[in-house]
A = this chain, B = another copy of it.
């Protein structure tokens, strides 16, 4: 880690976080979770883990031109800050953990070094971190010869032995997803087609928001772990067809998904996207950062209908057909391949 010169991003973050932590001390809250002994400004951050809890750690690399674009109309620095933290918070949620700390490594070309870019990026991170009570405890800064790169690292805590992995699904479990699917991919499609400049409807703006500012389902993840309601858990970063395949592979099971049950984002229809295309986006689109989990049918009745306004929908069931995911639509089952939607043809 670094922390030194005037134009060192992490040093600037340090000063602001320091001002915040002084404020926090004045409110004299009792720290109920793992405590921070040393944040930004030394060779490493120092934590005292909370007794009775396990720690989770995840890292997500975002590269300009591949994972995001900064050209006008795509992503603002603030939205990029939100997104960089959101993807790692979502990974924490996908283990059933409560995120507590984050570190940010940021590579920036010289042209962006002194302007508003880094401040706005930080504000985007900070605002989302506040929502979830996450502290920024470290990071690193480098110049790059080209575009921006960000590595976002999140540490979370989960009650001892209660982390929810991908590998726990059993045949007969029911499959659930939180929220709505396909919206983020719909927003990406608008950006890619240039429709963002012509369409100014409320539905279109909603889809862009789903793409630019994903909301990690932290409260859902924590609830599933704390109440022991799920057998497996994953976040939908690649898309349902890919991520459900990960669960099946790790659990040694198969799955059957009802197309009619999928909570396709209603903004898609309102923005004029046809039903087939909306279904395809919901299955293969990715980046919704909703949670997918499996639950024993005897426990599923204890699931709340929603957590913090985010509903949950039963979309199918786990089968014993190892690594086979089938999609049922209008009574016909087709093999659903990761990211490759096969146009509802009858099973071979």
Contacts and interface: CB of A to CB of B under 8 A. Distances in A.
Nearest to A146: B146
Nearest to A92: B44
Interface string A221-233: 0000000000001
Which of A66, A137, A235 has the most chain B CB atoms inside 10 A of its CB? A66
Given A4-B246, A92-B44, A63 B160 contact: no
A45 interface: yes
A48 B54 contact: yes
Contacts of A63: 107, 142-145, 149
Nearest to A106: B61
Contact of A166 (B43, B57, B158, B160): B43
A157 to B, nearest CB: 10
Given A57-B47, A66-B142, A151 B105 contact: yes
Interface string A48-73: 11010011111111111111000000
B38 A163 contact: yes
A155 interface: yes
Contacts of A235: 43
A146 B160 CA distance: 42
10 contacts: A4-B246, A42-B95, A42-B166, A42-B250, A43-B90, A46-B165, A57-B153, A63-B143, A63-B144, A66-B142
Given A42-B250, A59-B151, 10 more contacts: A42-B95, A45-B56, A45-B57, A49-B54, A51-B51, A58-B138, A59-B139, A63-B107, A63-B144, A63-B145
